[in-house]
Amino acid sequence: MFLHTVAFACGGSALRARPQQTTNEPAPAVTKVEPPSWWVGLRPEVMLLLSGHDLEATHVGCNLPTLRVSRTQAAAGGNYLFIWLQIGADTKSGTAVCRITAPKGATAFELPLAIRAPTLGKFQGLSQNDVMYLIMPDRFANGDPTNDKPTGSPGSQDRSKPRAYHGGDLLGIQNHLPYLKDLGVNTLWLTPIVKNGAREDYHGYGAVDLYAVDPHLGALKDYQNLVAAAHQQGMKIVFDVVPNHVGPKHPWVSNPPLPDWFHGTGQHHIDSFSPFKGSFYGKAGGPAVGNDLFESLIDPHVSVGMKRNLTEGWFLGILPDMNTENPLVEQYLLQNSIWWAEISGLDGYRVDTFPYVGRKFWANWHTGLRRLYPFLTTIGEVFHPDPSVTSFFAGGVRRYDGIDSGLSTVFDFPMFFTLRDVLLRGAPTGRIADVLRHDSSY
């Protein structure tokens, strides 16, 4: 997106731009717009989050008469500006140019507005007939060696080091679609493809930009091409979405848009239990033991403090926990999920760390998604061996809190743990039947 500092002067029908500054201090500037683009006819209003400096706006207006700024909110000393933009039903596609007037001068930004693409063959959702294959893109296939060492990336590409980047990318996956289809696979779940910021974030779970594809994996066009090619092969794509947290290198961590954008700060926060350590895996030959914090969420008598340890703690003690109780955070994350669906045509979302996010957020998030994509499937990660726990998080029923999460389904981790123990640890086969008896709980 091209961003520039301008003031407008009209001469006939032409729109001219020139710098405008009312003091000797630096004029306001916009460095980032989120979302970076939107669609006409999608939703009547979009909330924009602008990053920059000196953005204490006194007035914001756009050059299209069908666009109306309903309200604005400057934040973080002018480093951020929230803009609620109403998009009229008769708005045409094109690039909107919006002017910001601030005490120190004026600046402007562009927002491309597109017509929604045909939905045929997109947003298909999943069924029991689908066979899903999990791919960590960096570890699969290298289709474009030119992105192995992106400019400015802290991550190194070295296949001899287990925690370094190995060179896999989105084009490598696209090149192997016939191979995957020949295996009997028709659905691909990719670990997060958004931009990460640490040397060892090859896995994708340390986001620093929720609207950009990680340059090690390619560009946005590569993801769009992959989804389109998969659909042409009769295959589906599942996007890994992580509303619970961002990476510790995200610019928000040192300069959040709002004081309560996160639960706590880097210096003062609650640490969440990790399901990948401790007793989850159990002893050889014995059952996996559950996580008390997960189990506490299904208890109507749970203390507020115990619940907060899970829903407000920083995952692994280092991943900044998004404050999804904040309405602006909620809207930001919903719009981000809508943007990825609309711009790519993906078929479902795998939802990371599902229990760690408040249930009201999930209900609202699903409602917003389903209004636009009624067939989209969402699959929640509830990493727990007890079906009485995992089933609580599935949607379709209001639980003791009066909330239906809206989640399409959860991964069957109880069966995963049981099959592992039976096949690899000598547990009795009757335990498989014990797990299956709980199917009616979902």
Question: Any residues with CB less than 8 A from the CB of 392 and at least 6 apart, and which?
Answer: 297, 298, 399
Q: Among 390, 342, 333, 381, which Cα is nearest to 361's?
A: 333
Higher-confidence residue of 27 and 288: namely 27
What's the CA gap between 313 and 320, in Å, rounded?
Answer: 8
pLDDT of residue 295: 85
Number of other CB atoms surrounding residue 352 within 10 Å:
20
| Angle subtended at Cα 365 by Cα 308 and Cα 264, rounded to the nearest 5 degrees | 30
pLDDT at 273: 62
Instruction: Give φ, ψ of 348 to 5 degrees.
Output: -170, 165
Which residues does 218 contact at the CB level (< 8 Å), separation at least 6? 144, 147, 169, 170, 171
Q: How far is CA 185 from CA 177, 203, 264, in A?
A: 9, 22, 42
Contact between 281 and 289 (Cβ < 8 Å): no
For the segment 112-169, what is each residue's pLDDT rounded down to a tens digit? Answer: 999 999 999 999 999 999 999 999 999 999 999 999 999 988 877 889 999 999 999 9
pLDDT at position 364? 99
Rg for the chain (alpha carbons), in Å? 23
pLDDT digits 0-9 by tens, 225-274: 999 999 999 999 999 999 999 999 999 999 999 999 999 999 999 988 65
pLDDT at position 67: 98
**Res. 48: pLDDT tops 70:** yes
Instruction: Quote helix, strand, coil % in the chain, to nearest 5.
Output: 25, 25, 45
pLDDT band at 4 (very low <50, low <70, confident <90, very high): very low
Identify each DSSP E strand in 150-213 by its residue range. 187-190, 194-196, 207-213
What pLDDT was estimated at residue 63? 96
Are 421 and 285 a contacting pair, CB within 8 Å?
yes
Q: Does residue 349 have a pLDDT over 80?
A: yes
pLDDT, residue 284, reads: 43
Q: How confident is the model at residue 275 (pLDDT cuts 50, 70, 90)?
A: low
DSSP labels, 335-382? HHHHHHHHHH---EEEETTGGGS-HHHHHHHHHHHHHH-TT-EEEE--
Question: Measured between alpha carbons, how far is 103 from 355 in angstroms, rounded to an integer?
Answer: 44
Which percentage of the chain shows pLDDT scores above 90?
A: 82
pLDDT value of residue 157? 87
> What is the predicted pLDDT for the residue at 152?
85
Q: What is the H or E stretch that residue 102 is in?
A: strand 94-102
DSSP character at residue 153: -
Q: In the predicted model, is pLDDT for residue 16 greater than 80? A: no
Confidence bin at 175 (pLDDT 50/70/90): very high
What is the arithmetic mean of pLDDT over 53-72? Answer: 95
Q: Are 216 and 148 in contact (CB under 8 A)?
A: yes
- Distance, in Å, from the CA atom of 363 to the CA atom of 368, rounded to the nearest integer, reads 9
CATH 3.30.70.20 fits 132-251+313-441, yes or no: no
Instruction: Name which of 3-12, 159-168, 419-428 the model is least confident about.
Output: 3-12
Mean per-residue pLDDT of the chain: 91
**pLDDT score for 280:** 47
pLDDT of residue 294: 85
- What residues does CATH 3.20.20.80 cover in the chain? 132-251+313-441
Q: What is the mean pLDDT of residues 273-295?
A: 53
Q: Is the pLDDT score of 15 beyond 70? A: no
CB neighbours of residue 394 within 10 Å? 20
Q: Give start-end residues of each CATH 2.60.40.10 domain in the chain.
A: 7-115
Q: For 391-414, what is the mean pLDDT?
A: 97
Q: In which band, very low, low, confident or very high, does the pLDDT at 9 lie, cut at 50, 70 and 90?
A: very low
7-115 classified as CATH 3.40.1190.20: no
Length of the chain: 442
Residue 17 pLDDT: 36
Q: Write down the pLDDT at residue 58.
A: 87
The answer on pLDDT for 213 being more than 70 is yes
Q: What pLDDT, on a 0 to 100 scale, did the predictor assign at position 293?
A: 76
Reading the block at residue 417, the tokens are 């743990």
Return the exposure string of 130-163: e unless at least 16 CB atoms fall within 10 Å of the residue's CB, then b: bebeebebbebbbbbeebbebeebebebeeeeee
Q: How confident is the model at residue 282 (pLDDT cuts 50, 70, 90)?
A: very low
Q: How confident is the model at residue 306 (pLDDT cuts 50, 70, 90)?
A: confident
Band of residue 80 on the pLDDT scale cut at 50, 70, 90: very high
